[in-house]
Amino acid sequence: MFGLEELQQKVLELKKELNAIIVAHNYQRPEVQNIADLTGDSLELARKCAGNKAETIVFCGVRFMAETAAILNPSSTVLLSHADAGCPLADMIDVERLRQWKEKYPEAAVVAYVNTTAAVKAESDFCCTSANGVEVVDAVPSEEILFVPDQNLGHYVSTKTSKKMILYPGFCNTHAKLTAEEVKLAKQRYPQAKVLVHPECRPEVIDLADAALSTSQMLRYAKQSNHKVFLIGTEEGILHSLREQNSDKEFHLISDGFICPDMKKTTLETVIETMQTRSNVVTVPEEIGIRAKQAIDKMLDIT
């Protein structure tokens, strides 16, 4: 068993050896975020990876995020920090099901949430993240949008746009668990708190919140706000940066156990093992990568 400092030292050595950068999503464990060169939400990580020249990108997050990094950096080797870190939401739609829905709605432009496989992105017209869903949908040159796969994010976007939105019935297991009742109870306990939730939460939860924001938007909101107490409705990993960047403010999760099991598969040990063995290489077939990149690039151009 090694101590924290030895593990961190080992990561630094391996980073040099592999000429690697380490990127971590805001939901990662604090000790993993602390060794990362870049942290952020899905949009920021896509953007930051897009301009990167590192030989190796070690992606601490889940598979669809590492796939996006691989699509945007065909010359880098992308390693995922744990072989089985997936996203049940992304797995709720595959190419076959998407094609069936497209046949039902031939006039609709397809906007795919970034939480999808590369193959689904390749079948879509535009990509979006929780940070820019409204902006992307408004910019699509079509009045009818087929939004996949997160129905809660899709519903939230539909409340902010005049476009006709067809929602595929997918959801995030972690966010959809949060109930309106839990929000009401938390508000009773902290009546002065601002309530920030992720747009993957249910509509009735979003209705009770002060804002529905991506994880990095929450960080910016908290920093700029004069309020001192916040109730947070997203995965607990975000608390690390919220608290670190705002030592004068209080942050409480709306419900205990707000944990994404896949995000938590990554530990410092799995990062080290991945780097030592150069394993979990994430590749996307060229033909799929080219088409998926078009949907991602269109999003990056809009935002």
Residues engaged in binding ligand 13P (CB under 6 A): 26, 41-42, 115, 129-130, 172, 198, 200, 214-215
Q: Distances from the Cα of 54 to the Cαs of 60, 158, 224, in angstroms?
A: 15, 39, 33
Rounded Cα distance between 11 and 17, Å, is 10
Residue 28 in 3-state DSSP? coil
CB of 29 to ligand 13P, least distance (A): 15
Q: How would you classify the pairing of strands 126-128 and 109-113?
A: parallel
Nearer to ligand 13P, 117 or 130 (CB): 130
Task: Lay out the sheet containing 77-80: strands in order across.
Answer: 38-40, 20-25, 56-60, 77-80
Nearer to ligand 13P, 15 or 198 (CB): 198
CB of 125 to ligand 13P, least distance (A): 20
CB of 264 to ligand 13P, least distance (A): 13
Nearer to ligand 13P, 10 or 63 (CB): 63
Tokens at 50, concatenated: 């897009």
CB of 17 to ligand 13P, least distance (A): 30
Rounded Cα distance between 180 and 299, Å, is 32
CB of 26 to ligand 13P, least distance (A): 5
Nearer to ligand 13P, 199 or 289 (CB): 199
The number of helix segments (H) and strand segments (E) in the chain equals 15, 12
Rounded Cα distance between 89 and 79, Å, is 21
Nearer to ligand 13P, 108 or 262 (CB): 262
Rounded Cα distance between 79 and 70, Å, is 9
